Chain A
Amino acid sequence: MCSDPGQELIRQDIRDHKLDRIVVAACSPHLHEHIFREAVAAADLNPYYFHMVNLREHDSWVHTDKAAATAKAMDLVRAAVRRVKWHEPLESRQVAIHSDVLIVGGGIAGIDAALTLANAGKHVYLVEREATIGGHMAQFDKTFPTLDCAACILTPKMTAVRSHRNITLWTWSDVRQVEGYVGNYSVTVRRKPRYVLEDLCVGCLECIQACVYKQAKVPDAFNLGLGKRKPIYIPFPQAVPQVVVIDPETCIEFKSGKCKKTCVEVCAERNAIDFHQPEEIRTIQVGTIILATGFEVFDSARIPYYGYGLYPNVYTALEIERLVNASGPTGGEVVLRDGRKPASVGIVHCVGSRDVHTNRYCSRVCCMYSLKLAHLIKEKTGAEVYNFYIDMRSPGKAFEEFYNRVAEEGVVFIRGKVADIYPAGNGDGRLILQAEDTLLGMIRKIPVDMVVLSTGLEPRADANDVRRLFNIGCSSDGFFLERHPKLAPVSTFADGIFIAGCCQGPKDIPDTVAQSGAAAAQALALIDAGVVELEPNTAYVMEDACSGCKTCLPLCPYQAISFVEEKRAHINEVLCKGCGTCVAACPSGSIRQHMFEDDQIFEEIEGILAYA
């Protein structure tokens, strides 16, 4: 029906038979309702004389009893045929799209989307919670399968964001409130005080040198605690913006108020340090929003038998990324906590993935980054490297070739899930990895110096709060829900809000960048159209019948209902989003809703139950 001939059939029938109501019994209205409406409109009939019956998703696909399914189909079609009798001609509402865009999250997804939109001449607000943009990608050393250095391909983009005249970059900031609707969102952003004024700091970093703490003592989050920083710090050398941050938890001035403030002295006339900098609340107007809030690394301590946190030489993959990185805490040396070079390394795949006890899904990137780390560790240390895997998943451009290359380099692959990690017991500090080798059909116990846990990707701990803030859904695994898994992968059920990158589900950098481009294109499509059509499903008051009881006033979450002087309720059509709560509550029945009139719904109920 939705094909060209099907639509033509509808148009022809409207003309030939002078039809004035159309019912299509096919798939979900969420899929093709708009196509049929357009077909109806093309035959000069008001598109809202059309109604769609969902016989596919709600009937034929979900029932096996053919007779019962047919009876259900008849009920539903009858209901629709009776319903459309009450349909009225309506016009869709048009609202203008504000051309500014908000992007939340400054990882590679947010950076890429911001640059695409900014290059198209749109103004972008990029809001990042951390003190620098870059996200997880900035922590990686090389990227699979090409082994490009992550920083070499990322940092130029970070700098471009900083210098782009169309991008307002707010780091150390988070979104507190979102109001409005597609095209007209009003967003409140909190800018946390970094106690260093962004406009005045030139990024000379002399204050860090001058800090009364001669030695860096605070665990450094960027290096996952493997390195140390001072209370005044910059997250990493290529951080953008190049503005230092003061951590009030550890700064002596904040703790005691009795510091010599050598940082302020050295900052001198630049005067960038302000211990009394207040938090700033900014409200911005944007038309579209892209969420690129990323992922969290699975917490390995949740699998106690892997001994993370208990045995010092059990590392997470991200920690190894920092160790192999030349600007990391060891200057690129892969060494154990006691400084020795490992002679043997075991890499444990699927930690927190493909496991009913943690996450059922595959995190998609761990096989490949495990191969990459195996290659890098072997290259740097010459160690014997063992990969313990369930299945090797390398479905991507040049991925399988990379797997073969790493295998040829002499990395050992053992097909089996590691069941236990425990000390060798002979005092040499080695750890034994125990797994059932399912190819050999035997239990293997491999002693190694270093264990790398290939941790999976999880939704952000506050993903639920964030999705509620933006009024979008999440899938059962907790990642943000796309509008359609195939055909609308970056759209959400909130019009004008798009998702990109790992907040939607685990994915690698190429897929993330593809999504951020898609999200930027979707936002651009809205902005350049200039207006968006909204469903005319607003509520309205039959003013003659309104008794002025005010029951409806507090029900409206959008303050769309006001009480006018003639003692009647009035609904502002622009503010009304069409939920219909006031309609259901009105005691005199004088509030009605376009497209969901009482008459229409009663008729539907009666149609369904005509033969009950």
Chain B
Amino acid sequence: MPEAFEPKIVAFFCNWCTYLAADLAGTSRIKYAPNTRIVRVMCSGRVDPQFVLEAFAKGADGVLIGGCHPGDCHYQEGNYKALRRYELLRRLLNQLGIEDARFRLEWISAAEGDRVRVVVDDMVEKLRALGPRTPAYRREVA
């Protein structure tokens, strides 16, 4: 029997909200799926679309961006910039055959340790259901 599929998710968390929420989840010993690997950036606005493309190119099953809630950005509006890029990038990824569920942007404040669990567990569950990534060209041949 093949091993159950465990997705690997690259997570870009902003230093001031979501990274701290993940810290809080830790201090509160909240348990969640071990599938994410967090890369710290100062602001979700620092997430260059190329980081996301690179992660998918190198085999990530999902990419999660975590930023401050609208209006709460430590840098005033970096999260809005992230949102705009996310919407555009999501469409591009669709065309490359990467489903919506694989690419998520979430607002998680420093006080929302439990929300890290909710978001990560939900994403992992959806990606498990979706299975490993299949490049678009391969799907067309099939």
Contact = CB atoms under 8 A, between A and B. Distances in A.
Q: Do A and B bind each other?
A: yes
Interface of A: 28-30, 54, 56-59, 61-65, 68-69, 71-72, 75-76, 79, 468, 471, 473-476, 481, 493-494, 537, 555, 557, 577-581, 583-585, 593, 596, 598, 601-602, 604-606, 608-609, 612
* Interface size grouping (class) on chain B: 35 or more
A601 B85 contact: no
Contacts of A57: 22-23, 25-27
A579 B78 contact: yes
B34 A65 contact: yes
B45 to A, nearest CB: 4
Given A598-B48, A606-B58, A69 B34 contact: yes
B42 A596 contact: yes
A596 B29 contact: no
A359 B37 CA distance: 35
A398 to B, nearest CB: 33
Contacts of B40: 29, 54
A578 B47 CA distance: 13
B8 interface: yes
Contact of B42 (A28, A72, A580, A605): A580
B45 A59 contact: no
B101 interface: no
Contacts of A471: 74
Contacts of A481: 110-111
B51 A601 contact: yes
A584 B85 contact: yes
B31 A54 contact: no
Given A56-B26, A63-B32, A612 B46 contact: no
A581 B58 contact: no
A30 B35 CA distance: 22
Contacts, number: 147
B41 A580 contact: yes
B37 A28 contact: no
A544 B33 CA distance: 46
A609 B19 CA distance: 20
17 contacts: A54-B40, A56-B26, A59-B34, A61-B29, A68-B34, A69-B34, A476-B111, A557-B76, A579-B75, A584-B45, A601-B39, A601-B48, A602-B54, A609-B58, A612-B8, A612-B58, A612-B59
Given A30-B23, A609-B8, A580 B59 contact: no
A59 B25 CA distance: 10
Given A30-B23, A62-B31, A68-B34, A468 B60 contact: no
Contact of A28 (B26, B32, B47, B59): B26
B46 A593 contact: yes
B81 interface: yes
Contacts of A580: 41-43, 45-46, 78
B34 A473 contact: no
B37 A583 contact: no
Given A59-B34, A557-B77, A581 B43 contact: yes
A468 B72 contact: yes
B103 interface: no
Contacts of B77: 557
Contacts of A61: 26-27, 29
A62 B111 CA distance: 16
Contact of A602 (B8, B42, B51): B51
B16 interface: yes
Contact of B74 (A72, A493, A585, A608): A493
A58 B9 CA distance: 14
Contacts of B117: 62
B75 A581 contact: yes
B41 A581 contact: no
Nearest to B59: A612
A581 B51 contact: no
Contacts of B32: 62-63
B33 to A, nearest CB: 8
B58 A62 contact: no
B38 interface: yes
